[in-house]
Amino acid sequence: MVIDCLENYEAMSSRAADVVASAISEKPTGVFGFATGSTPVGLYKSLIARYQRGEVTFSKLTTINLDEYIGLSADHEQSYRFFMQHNLFGHVDVQPECVHFPPVNGEPAAFDDLIRNKKGIDLQILGLGSNGHIGFNEPGSAFDSRTRVVELESSTIRDNARFFEHQRDVPRQAVTMGIKTILEAHQILLLASGANKANAVARSLEGPQTENVPGSCLQSHPNVIVLLDEAAAARLTTK
Ligand code: GLP
């Protein structure tokens, strides 16, 4: 695991864009796993700027998203499909038929089959929940879990209520790529920023590997890059 602590959110986002853009240049036909949430927004802005300068193209990529709420229509402003369209896909040359989300109605296992048929995910981008979740794999998720429907923790519903008019509007369920599926990605890029992530970062990177802290599963992956800002890195003992 390579852990890099950057001065602030902008520097973290720009370094993340370096990693993603160079992975796309190395494998323009690759399978790239994208994440939602506020953390990767700066990364996506930076990728859009690079695309506009002609430095990167998404035209041959396959994209796979980590998770999706259940109960929101695809055009709902808080659906993750809408988020990706608004924050990245709608601004670059990604081919709509190459964009994939875990199925909200269909058979979750079909998503793992799709990833397997594509020969796996080359680079999976991840954020981290304040409770240590990755995707929507909440604490207690089995390390051998696959794509499935999950119930959201009340802390996650509270965290994500900031994007909705009322907390009661936040869906209670989601479909998420499983931990085992995430761990099968060839490379993982974990991003965390802000003081409210410091505890989850320390527990994920330096604590015992336990299903109570989903992010701690990443310690067993051979190829993880972690990019943090100073606030998120504050509770790490190794600097
Ligand atoms: C959300 C998403 C995760 C995301 C995390 C952190 O609930 N399901 O994929 O990484 O929580 O979100 P944020 O980046 O907004 O803090």
Q: What is the 3-state secondary structure (H, E, C) of the chain?
A: CEEEEECCHHHHHHHHHHHHHHHHHHCCCCEEEECCCCCCHHHHHHHHHHHHCCCCCCCCCEEEECEEECCCCCCCCCCHHHHHHHHCHHHCCCCHHHEECCCCCCCCHHHHHHHHHCCCCCEEEECCCCCCCECCECCCCCCCCCCEEEECCHHHHHHHHHHCCCHHHCCCEEEECCHHHHHCCCEEEEEECCHHHHHHHHHHHHCCCCCCCHHHHHHHCCCEEEEEEHHHHCCCCCC
Q: Give the pLDDT confidence score for residue 73 in this predicted structure.
A: 87
> Does the CB atom of residue 66 touch ligand 1 within 6 A?
yes
Q: Which of 13, 36, 172, 196 to mutate to test the pocket of ligand 1 (most atoms within 8 A of CB)?
A: 36
Percentage of the chain beyond pLDDT 70 is 100
> Does the CB atom of residue 102 touch ligand 1 within 6 A?
no
Please give the average per-residue pLDDT across 214-237, as a whole number.
98
Q: Give the pLDDT confidence score for residue 239 in this predicted structure.
A: 63
Q: Does the structure show a pLDDT above 90 at 146?
A: yes
pTM: predicted TM-score of the whole model, two decimal places = 0.97
128 CA closest ligand 1 atom index: 10
> Does the CB atom of residue 229 touch ligand 1 within 6 A?
no
Q: What is the mean pLDDT of the chain?
A: 97
Positions marked active-site = 67, 131, 133, 138
| pLDDT-derived band at 238, boundaries 50, 70, 90 | confident
For 162-215, write each residue's pLDDT tens digit.
Answer: 999 999 999 999 999 999 999 999 999 999 999 999 999 999 999 999 999 999
> Does the CB atom of residue 129 touch ligand 1 within 6 A?
yes
Which pair of structure tokens corresponds to residue 108?
Answer: 């979750």
